[in-house]
Every structure is written in structure tokens, then in C-alpha cells.
Chains A and B, each alone.
Chain A
């Protein structure tokens, strides 16, 4: 019985066969955001370390991939590595960037780390705008498509399983599912084992954690590094979906979006991060798409509340509502008949 519960997840394989490109793209943005949010949730939700610099590590992942996989030309430099190798390198690079910051992350906690990591965004944006050769400056740079053993994930080629033509987004969908699945399982593994319990104790009782022999600073630093690797992977998937990496995108607002995701979804849980990422990523896109037929939201340019603003108000309200009424986030909304009773461990 318990295994059968996971069968509905197979339905996630269906969308490329049915939905149009808008939905597939929105879905891929959700998957990318979910990977990043899982990473942030490990850090903020489970370990109690506030990070405002998440968008910096997303940018490192995105541009790392573009740099490693891209080819050099007269304006830009790239290493031209095979894309799969480039993804691994990009994630490692994001990890290294996290590691470089971890002496600070290990020592500071809570709000202090939040403020220190805020600096990363500003430094990051300055560097991104000015390292023309790598980032393409203000206008950004095209992202080379993913290629695995000669199979390219773009609109080329005549791939049509079951008679349905597959373009780049359809093919990427499956890659996104695999990456998200692996990321989620790994995070679950971490949370349910020894390091996870250590992280929770550091969050709840830092002194007690130190007393029973948990290396507090080292664990914090390690979680920070892991979280930046998650952000790096999210950044890579984001770049692949986007097909273009623009420095402007990786700013302060993006970092706040990620914080909103984990608060709305539920702090400290993997499902929560995924639910929150879905909510925060889909909301503005849905509002824009259906702006013609929604009350209160006016079509862009006519004055009044634009869809983008409306989305921000809505999830501002959602954050407040959830903090007040649903302390466990949207994840805490359980439908009794569908949810198995939780077995309590002593």
C-alpha cells in the first residue's frame, strides 16, 4: 500500500504529450526553482541559517554552465566542454563559491548571516555586469543546449515518440524531472539521517548541539556549501529552460522570491520547498496569462494593478496568512483521507 502512494508521481511523465509550450516552460521554471528552494530550505529551514545570497549561487551555476559548455568567439570566451561535464563543473563551481564563503557562514548565525550574504548579491551583480567575456554584459549570453551522447535537447532533430513532435522543452522536461527527483531524494536522505538531526539541533539548541559534540561551525559551513550546490544545479536548469542568461535577473528580488518559497511551502521540508516553488513561480505567470479575464487585475499599460504587481501583493499576503494560520506552511494543509497517519518515532 505504502509504495502505491507514489504511483501518481508517474503522471508527471504525461505533460509533454499534452500541454502546450507555455505550461511546459512554466513547469520547468518550477522544477528549477524547486531545486534551488530545496537547497535554501536545508540551510534556512533545517539549520536556521538565513541566506539572502541565494540568487548569487544560482547565477554562479547558470553562468558556470554557460562558460564551461559555451564556445569562444570574438566577444565571448567559453571552454566548449561537453554539456554534461559542464553541468557537473558548474555545480562544483557553485559549491566552491559556497565553500569560499563558508568561513563566514560557519561563524555567523541567523540574521547576521543574512546581512553578510546580502553582500554577495551586490558583488555578484557588479561582477556579472562587468565580466563581459564570460557573461555577455547587460544583454546576457545565449545558453548552449544540453547534449547527452549526441542527443541534443533543443528543437533540432525529428523526435516524435507516439507521433507527438518533441522540441527542446518537451525533451528538457524529463531531464528536469530526473534532476529534481535526485535532488529531492538526496535532501530527504540528508534530513532523515545523522547530519539532518545535527542540523535541526543546531537550529533549535545551538549550545546543546555543541555540548553533545556536534561540530557546529563545521556543520553550518558544510550545509552552506551543499545549499549553494543545490542553487548551482537550479541555476543550470533555469539557464537551460531560459536559453539565455541575463545578469539583471539574478538580483535581490530573486533571492526574496526564494525566501518566500520556503516560508510559503513550509520551513525545513523537501515537499514544502517544492510546493512553495510551485506557488511562487506559477502565480505571476498565471496572472499574466489570464490578466484579460481576472477582476481587479488590469491589462498591462492601462494603469491600475499590473499582473506582476498583483502577484507580488498576493504572495506577500500569502506569507502573512501562512505565518499566522499555517505555521507549517502549505505543506501543513493535509487532506485527512489522503494522508496516512504519521507514525511517531519515540
Chain B
């Protein structure tokens, strides 16, 4: 009786499973009536893209800026007729910098999207990297470690943390009177971000004959007092920092309060204009410099002026940080890839990535330096800008120097 029931049950299962499952082996590769090959996320009138962003966690400000700037670009693109007669829609998923939520969100959106123009967080990118390659989804991470240059289907937009630090040291040598034989400190986060930056500073310091004093910190350390006193005891002439904005504020504030006025050069994620609302403002304005792949919001180029005007119109009174610029460039890179893919009549995931790789001189109209995406494994550019905090400027920074690439950055080997 019992055995017979079970066998009958299994037989029923097998039959139903074969008969009416909505899941099929066919995954894209259809050709629409307009002769364009389409894949997942692309229908006859819509292209769906995904954003895995952080709107509630530690990088919430950055996530909000990038998300709003990308939406702005896609709205403009849709108003101009979209791509291939299709409008662009973005599915935004918040992971709050929690890797489990990000993995869940990725699993949810992956079958619905043609690409991911925004993924925030090195740990998140590391967690979904293998799947991105497997699902062939073109992805733009909001992270710049060189390890991602090699990852298939992942496009780092801008230079990398190594190059930022190499250019930062060059700035110290040329403008701040640091010379061969001096000691400089480097305070960095453990993990991919900090260690990539350290590789760059080590390389450039050795070339310039500087001695590097390393201080490794955790993302949870926010008081830099002990690091500052250790660096002061070593007698460093300048400090590099590759951490978050809170660490930067603490470092500058503690150093200035202790009469230890040396120039501080930060990696791009280490500064946010909100810091100018804190007690560290005078110290930041006096000592602090940020290396970045994008131009400051106040720079006088046609692209930046248009972006600032449009963004301020849509989100009046909101912060114009480098996340806005970066997000807009990222969306532009994606938009151009889609247009090229449309011209080649191939809007499958592979088609989009292939079209993207034909762009050897991507020009963001003055938002950043021109980028070359045709050489996988190499950064799109080795040039960076040096920003200086300024509470009176739009976006909280002014241009100190750049764009430019130092000798060390140009010769840095990406093995």
C-alpha cells in the first residue's frame, strides 16, 4: 500500500514536471521582427538593466548619488527615443552593503536584466563575480581594484587604486616638496581596496626613493589617533590614506590638532563633501587632497555644466558629489554600448559586451578623462585628477591639478 502510493506519487510528479514547467532551456538568442537579436532583459519595446546599490548601509550617500545620476541619464536617453526603439528601465535593488542581501538580489534580477550599470562594494563584486562571468552580464562596479580588470564581463570605469596612489605620490613630489629619502605614511583598509592602493604606493615610493610606513586599519576603526601618533613618531613628511571618509576626517582632524601639519593624499573613496559639515573642515581644507578619476563638479566643461544643471533641476538642494559624476559616466558607457550593439543588431548580453569593447576612445564630454575599453586587462586610463576640499565650491572640491598620469602610473605593470 505504502510503496504503491509513493511510486504513484513520483510518477505523477514526473509527468507534471515534464508537461507544464515554465522554465525552459532556451535562454535568449531570439530575433525580433526588427532583425535585432535579443537576449534576457530585452523585449520588443524595453531594455531592462539592474543596479545593486547601497541605499541604507555605509555607502548610502554614494549609492543614492550614483542611482539618481544614472536614472537621469537613462531618462534623457529615453526622452531622445531610447535605444533601438526600446526604452530603458532600471531595476534598483538595495543591499545595504550586506553581502547576503546582495547575493539574493543578484539571483532575483539576473534573469531579468541585460546588464548591471551599477554594483557597489568590493565584497559584493567578489561574491557575484563568478556568476557574472557565467551569466555573461556586463557589469560596471563602483570599485576600482586592479583585480577586477581581469574579471570577464566586468568593466572598471576610470583608473585603479594603484594608479591613484602612484599619481598621488607624484603630486607630493612635484608640488609638496617631498624628495628622495623622505618617509611617507600610508594608512589603508584591509581587503582588496586598501591592498590595491598599497601596491601602487609601494611601487611609486620605491621608484622615487621614498620610504613607506604602513598602517593597516579595519573598516570599523574610526579613530585615527594611534595611527597619527605612530606616523608622527616615524617622522613622515606626508600621509597617504586609502580608507573611508570617516577615517579621513579623523586623520586630518587629529593631525592638525596635534600640530602635525603634513599634506594628506586620499584615494577616491576617502572623501565625501559631507565631511565639510564636520569639525574636521578647517583641517581638510588646509591639508587634504583627493585623487579621483572624475573631474570635480565645478569644472568648466560643457558636459559637466549640462550635468550639474540637469541634476540640480531634478534633485534641487541635493549633494553633488563625485558619485553623481561617476554614476553618470557609468550610465553613459552603458548607453553607448547599447547604441553600438543596436547598430550591430545584437542586443544579447554577449552582443552588448562585444559592442562595448569596440570603444577605444570613449569621451564623456569633460566629465572625466577619455577612456579606452578595447584592451581587456588594462585600465581604461592611467590619468587622474587631484581634488582639493573647498566648502565654497560646487560638490565640495575644486581642481588642484590634472588630469595627468605620472611616470610611475604609466609604467605600473598589471601582471
Contacts and interface: CB of A to CB of B under 8 A. Distances in A.
Interface of A: 3-4, 7, 10, 13-14, 17-18, 20-22, 25-26, 29, 129, 132, 137-140, 142, 155, 160-165, 169, 242-244, 246, 248-249, 285, 288-289, 299-301, 306-308
B110 A21 contact: yes
B25 A10 contact: no
Interface in B1-48: 1-2, 5-6, 9-10, 13-14, 16-18, 21-25
Given A139-B191, A165-B23, A299 B92 contact: yes
A138 B218 contact: yes
A301 B53 CA distance: 10
| Secondary structure type dominating chain B contacts | helix
Contacts of B25: 160, 163-165
Contacts of A299: 92
A22 B99 contact: no
A288 B53 CA distance: 13
B211 interface: no
Contact of A243 (B16, B101, B127): B127
A244 B106 CA distance: 13
B14 A129 contact: no
Which 9 residue pairs spanning A and B have beta carbons closest together?
A: A300-B94, A301-B55, A244-B127, A22-B108, A162-B18, A300-B55, A17-B17, A139-B123, A138-B191
Given A26-B104, A139-B191, A140-B126, A164 B21 contact: yes
15 contacts: A3-B5, A10-B9, A14-B17, A18-B23, A129-B218, A138-B189, A138-B219, A139-B126, A140-B127, A244-B103, A288-B94, A300-B94, A300-B96, A301-B94, A308-B101
A288 B23 contact: no
B104 A164 contact: no
B107 A25 contact: yes
B123 A162 contact: no
A55 to B, nearest CB: 12
Contacts of A288: 93-94, 101, 104-105
A139 B103 contact: no
A139 B92 contact: no
A139 B63 CA distance: 19
Contacts of A140: 99, 123, 126-127
B190 interface: yes
B410 interface: no
Interface string B64-92: 10010000000000000000000000001
Contacts of A7: 5-6, 9
Contact of B94 (A18, A248, A285, A306): A306
A321 B30 CA distance: 52
Given A137-B190, A248-B98, A306-B94, 5 more contacts: A10-B10, A13-B13, A21-B108, A22-B104, A308-B56
Nearest to B67: A301
A244 B126 contact: yes
